[in-house]
């Protein structure tokens, strides 16, 4: 049984085209446009494939940007939680971000207070309580400084990892998806 032909207009040059009833793609014999054939309940029409490719590329770009934004939001949320975990809380006060500068300050105060108490005890009154208190202040202060140094280094490593992951996401989602290194 011969295939039934229908007439559709070329979307590019408006020339009438006779195509098989079930055709989904056709090339116009008048202008060589590559066309997709669409059918609704009441009409048949063509659409230029170049337009579809352009729309598909635009949608793919939007999807890539949305994925990048979602990934960046997830990284930011995870970093915020990690940052709070890395903070140091003293007593009922707020958390503070540990830094090496803070650790040096604590160490400096511990050395000055501890050493001055020990020296005052040794050179002045000879009080064993003053010497013991100075030694205790020195040990506790240096211990706290060591802890803050450790936490500062841990914070720095975590922050560098976060920045690295963020740069990778930015690079991956800002790059042209058609370059060979970005293809799946």
Q: Give tens-digit pLDDT for 5-28.
A: 889 999 889 999 998 888 888 999
Whether residue 63 is contained in a domain is answered as no
Q: Cα(154)–Cα(136) distance, rounded to whole angstroms?
A: 27
| 36 shares its domain with 92 | no
Q: Read off the DSSP letter of residue 123.
A: I
- Structural domain containing residue 162: 87-182
Same domain, 155 and 112: yes
- Does residue 39 form part of some domain? yes
68 in a structural domain: no
| Number of residues assigned to the chain | 184
Burial-class residue 35 by CB neighbours within 10 Å (0-12, 13-18, 19+). buried
pLDDT tens digits, one per residue of 67-105: 889 999 999 999 999 999 999 987 888 889 999 999 999
What pTM did the predictor assign? 0.60
Give 126 or 66, the one with higher predicted confidence.
66
| Average pLDDT across the chain, whole number | 87
Residues 103 and 174 in one domain: yes
Output the six-digit token pair for 36. Answer: 């997709």
Q: What angle do CA 134, 140, 143 make, to 5 degrees?
A: 135
- Compute the distance between CA of residue 95 and CA of residue 56 in angstroms, rounded to an integer: 49
Identify the pLDDT of residue 39: 86
Clarify whether residues 92 and 178 are in a common domain. Answer: yes
The pLDDT score that the predictor gives to residue 110 is 95
Same domain for 107 and 172? yes
- Establish if 81 belongs to a structural domain: no
Q: Tell me how many domains the chain contains.
A: 2
Q: Of 5-14, 154-163, 165-174, which one has max mean pLDDT? A: 154-163
Same domain, 91 and 165: yes
Mark whether 29 and 98 lie in a shared domain: no
**Domain co-membership, 168 together with 113:** yes
pLDDT tier at 179, thresholds 50, 70, 90: very low
pLDDT per residue as tens digits for the range 67-76: 889 999 999 9
Please indicate, yes or no, if residue 17 is contained in any of the structural domains.
Answer: yes
106 and 157, same structural domain?
yes
Query: Are residue 100 and residue 163 in the same domain, yes or no?
Result: yes
Average pLDDT of the segment spanning 128-144: 94
Residue 19 resides in a domain: yes
Residue 183 has a pLDDT of 37
Whether 78 is in a domain gets the answer no
Check: CB of residue 173 under 8 Å from CB of residue 64: yes
For residues 19 and 36, what is the distance between their CA atoms, to the nearest angstrom? Answer: 12
Residue 69 lies inside a defined structural domain of this protein: no
Q: Are residues 44 and 124 in the same domain?
A: no
93 and 141 together in one domain: yes
Joined together, the tokens standing for residue 89 give 């809380």
User: What CATH number does the domain containing 25 carry?
Assistant: 2.20.28
């Amino acid at each position: 049984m011969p295939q039934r032909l229908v007439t559709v207009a070329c979307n590019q040059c408006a020339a009438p085209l006779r195509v098989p009833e079930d055709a989904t793609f056709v090339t116009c014999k008048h202008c060589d446009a590559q066309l997709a054939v669409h059918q609704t309940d009441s009409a048949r029409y063509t659409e230029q494939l170049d337009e579809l490719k352009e729309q598909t590329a635009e949608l793919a770009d939007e999807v890539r940007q949305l994925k990048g934004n979602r990934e960046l939001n997830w990284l930011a949320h995870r970093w915020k939680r990690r940052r709070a975990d890395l903070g140091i809380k003293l007593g009922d006060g707020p958390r503070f971000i540990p830094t090496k500068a803070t650790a040096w300050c604590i160490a400096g105060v511990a050395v000055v207070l501890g050493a001055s108490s020990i020296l005052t005890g040794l050179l002045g009154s000879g009080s064993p309580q003053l010497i013991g208190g100075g030694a205790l202040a020195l040990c506790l202060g240096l211990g706290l400084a060591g802890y803050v140094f450790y936490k500062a280094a841990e914070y720095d490593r975590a922050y560098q990892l976060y920045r690295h992951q963020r740069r990778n996401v930015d690079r991956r989602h800002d790059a042209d998806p058609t370059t060979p290194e970005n293809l799946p």
